[in-house]
Amino acid sequence: MTTTVPTPVGQEVGAATPAARAARPVGATARAVRQTLRRPAVLIALGWLVLVVVTSLLAGPLSPFDPLAQDLGSRLQGPTAAHLLGTDDLGRDLLSRILHGGGVLLLAAVVPVLVSYLLGVPAGLLVGYVGGKADAVADFVVNVLFAIPALVVVLAVSVVTDNNLPIMTVVFGVVVSGGIFRLVRASTQASRDLLYVDAARVSGVTRTTILARHILPNVLGPLIVQGFLLYSGAFLFLTSLSFLGLGFDPQEPSWGQLVFDATAKLDTDPWLMVPIGVVLIATVAALNYVGNALLATLPSSRRARLLTPTRRPVLPVADAHGTGSTAPAPLPAGPGGDEPRLVVEGLVVSFRGEDGRWQPVVDGVSFAVERGRTLCLVGESGCGKTMTALATLGLLPEGGAAAGSVRLGGQELIGLDEKAMARVRGSRIALVSQEPMVALDPCFSVRSQLGDVVRLHRGGSRADVRTRTLDLLRLVGIPNAERVGRSFPHQLSGGMAQRVCIALALAGEPDVLVADEPTTALDPTIQAEILDLLRSLQDSLGLALVLVTHDLGVVADIGDTAAVMYAGQVVELAPVEELLAAPRHPYSRGLLDAMPEDAERGVPLRTVPGVVPLPKDWPTHCRFAARCELATDACRTGPVPIEVVGPDHQSRCIRTAETARGVHPVATGGQS
């Protein structure tokens, strides 16, 4: 039997990015756990574990014989009516020995789990929260712990303590506690800057309360799952010790001892190995199976997948047209009359309110993107850019549903079930999110996360996956790919993390990349580098890029076409140069006038007065009318259709003819 020591926990558990976990409703996780526990295979595994525990507890009354009673007249018998599982070389009943041999082992395996939790959880919370020097010291200690082979330490302890099992299990728990520490620290680091944690901090809540109430719940799920896996590892480890005759009383039956006895007679009496082998394998497999099944219920590092309900709700026909205020304008065909790579037509995204009614937040949006071109979705906060982008990937948050048409290379995506959509996502259309640190799982190295995605999309041997992973890192401009590959997300700068996220998105070689404010979280010099990178990738790979931004500077820098969104609608769709030179919608003009790049020193920055109305407050007439200085009574009489105002240029304004002649409202001074 080989000695198995559980691998470091932090490298094993698919713990969610905590921010993503925080975003996931608790009820959803609880539901997923309940569903998992009802699966027949999980029920069988749980049933076996319960059987093992109960029969070990009731070993005395259940055993047909004294497990130590020798009967040399019935040595090495196979199964008989008297001895259902046969006897060993001293004629001892195997069934009775198996029943008595598991209890101490099962109990002893709890100790390392408890010890590692007692050490790892508080230390991980504290160090993850305060960071700084404490983090460096703790990291050093944990690295040392990981470098020590647990078996060697425990063997040494067994010699020094004269085979004292409790001390050996405690020491084993200390050695493996580094994994729990890393898991908790990584989750704490990612949670400590969440808005609600900040809010608690500024409200004067004590550090202990913040850690216990706001941060610990984020890590509880993975900890429970890890408990199963750690217990399974500890159980195997202790079985190995007892096989070596360490820790357990050699006079008492133990499962390791039974394996040892069976190994000695493997050539002449192989049956001896069968009952104990089956029991051991079944027990370890059941523990691992339940652990892994629970693991799958946790939100994983792929935030997008976490936020995706397994069955996506469908908008009822009556609500599928949003407010149905206007028909979409015709879309341009691609070169040679082909359909462009991504075509979005009459897209409606709605959320179901507490009253059960569907509230549109994206209302009949249409645009198309060609290979090698960039379409920018631009507008103020709350206009529906992100929801439009997420709907194209089938990644709407829970409660959201989409209708209309999203065609990718001619294939309709709206209405695809989650399984089919999962095949499309990543391999044909991929997402680069706003917050690289949220998109990366703090518990796994860059190489491991990227390798997972490469394996998922391309398969191949370990060497192939490794080569491709490094190639991808180099592709996104990371020169020291080997070193960055070994790093964990918290060791990366924001720009580097965003490059890694772009590499993740490119791993499946998609045709279309959707980037949601990919530079917002970065400082200006890095923003420029990331935009350059996207542009060069687009050139070399021929990607169609959908870029969400509120920054017209970014649009000017990288966009080919701009779709200006306001209150859930596209109000202007135009080639970027045309939009910048001669916008046809007053809102576009307002945004341009408000660009800080154009501000004159000493003159207050121009703004568009007022705010974007909430979806529930959208008027039935022009939604921008309340903020528009050109608005007349005619603008307040009914829905305004989007109209073709030039080749590839559309505007949703009834005064478009005048704006073409340069009649535009002057945005008013506001913030300086």
Ligand X SMILES: Nc1ncnc2c1ncn2[C@@H]1O[C@H](COP(=O)(O)OP(=O)(O)OP(=O)(O)O)[C@@H](O)[C@H]1O
Q: Which residues bind ligand X (CB under 6 A)?
A: 351, 361, 379, 381-387, 397, 399, 550, 614-615
Residue (104 or 515) nearer to ligand X, CB: 515
Exposure of 597 by Cβ count < 10 A (0-12 exposed, 13-18 middle, 19+ buried)? exposed
* Tally of residues, the chain: 672
Q: How far is the CB of 353 from ligand X (least distance, A)?
A: 8
Q: How far is the CB of 550 from ligand X (least distance, A)?
A: 5
Residue (399 or 638) nearer to ligand X, CB: 399
Q: How far is the CB of 494 from ligand X (least distance, A)?
A: 18
Beta-sheet strands, E only, within 330-488: 342-352, 358-369, 374-378, 400-408, 411-412, 429-432
Angstrom distances, CA of residue 596 to CA of 380, 487, 603? 14, 37, 11
Residue (484 or 592) nearer to ligand X, CB: 592
Residue (399 or 604) nearer to ligand X, CB: 399
Q: Could you tell me which residues come within 8 angstroms of residue 537 by beta carbon, excluding any fewer than 6 positions away? A: 475, 476, 502, 506, 513, 543
Residue (309 or 639) nearer to ligand X, CB: 309
Residue (468 or 623) nearer to ligand X, CB: 623
Residue (283 or 434) nearer to ligand X, CB: 434
Q: How far is the CB of 352 from ligand X (least distance, A)?
A: 9
Q: How far is the CB of 293 from ligand X (least distance, A)?
A: 29
Distance CA 216, CA 209 (A): 10
Q: How far is the CB of 617 from ligand X (least distance, A)?
A: 10
588: closest CA among 605, 602, 570? 570
| DSSP labels, 36-58 | HHTSHHHHHHHHHHHHHHHHHHT
Q: How far is the CB of 382 from ligand X (least distance, A)?
A: 4
Distance CA 247, CA 54 (A): 24
Exposure of 90 by Cβ count < 10 A (0-12 exposed, 13-18 middle, 19+ buried)? middle
Distance CA 334, CA 388 (A): 21
Residue (383 or 472) nearer to ligand X, CB: 383
Q: How far is the CB of 320 from ligand X (least distance, A)?
A: 17
Residue (332 or 397) nearer to ligand X, CB: 397
Residue (361 or 654) nearer to ligand X, CB: 361
Q: How far is the CB of 20 from ligand X (least distance, A)?
A: 14
β-strand 512-516 against 544-549: which pairing, if any? parallel
Q: How far is the CB of 520 from ligand X (least distance, A)?
A: 8
Q: How far is the CB of 385 from ligand X (least distance, A)?
A: 4
Q: How far is the CB of 503 from ligand X (least distance, A)?
A: 24
Instruction: Let me know the angle formed at the C-alpha of 171 by 166 and 177, rounded to the nearest 5 degrees.
Output: 125
Q: Which residues of 304-334 are buried (b: 16+ CB within 10 A; e: fewer)?
A: bbbbbeeebbebeeebbbbbebbebbebbeb
Distance CA 147, CA 549 (A): 46
Distance CA 495, CA 479 (A): 14
CB atoms inside a 10 Å sphere around CB 161: 14
Distance CA 102, CA 98 (A): 7
Distance CA 17, CA 189 (A): 10
Exposure of 137 by Cβ count < 10 A (0-12 exposed, 13-18 middle, 19+ buried)? exposed
Question: Are the C-beta atoms of 217 and 155 separated by less than 8 Å?
Answer: no
Q: How far is the CB of 222 from ligand X (least distance, A)?
A: 24
Q: How far is the CB of 330 from ligand X (least distance, A)?
A: 25
172: closest CA among 268, 88, 260, 241? 241
Q: Could you tell me which residues come within 8 angstroms of residue 292 by beta carbon, excluding any fewer than 6 positions away? A: 229
| DSSP labels, 339-383 | PPSEEEEEEEEEEE-TTS-EEEEEEEEEEEE-TT-EEEEE-STTS
Query: Is the C-alpha dihedral spanning 414, 416, 419, 424 positive or negative?
Result: negative
CB atoms inside a 10 Å sphere around CB 10: 27
Residue (291 or 615) nearer to ligand X, CB: 615
The tokens for 304 are 């997008």
Residue (411 or 620) nearer to ligand X, CB: 620
Residue (191 or 386) nearer to ligand X, CB: 386
Report CA 572 to chain centroid distance, whole Å.
35
Residue (351 or 367) nearer to ligand X, CB: 351
The tokens for 186 are 């990584």
Residue (384 or 404) nearer to ligand X, CB: 384
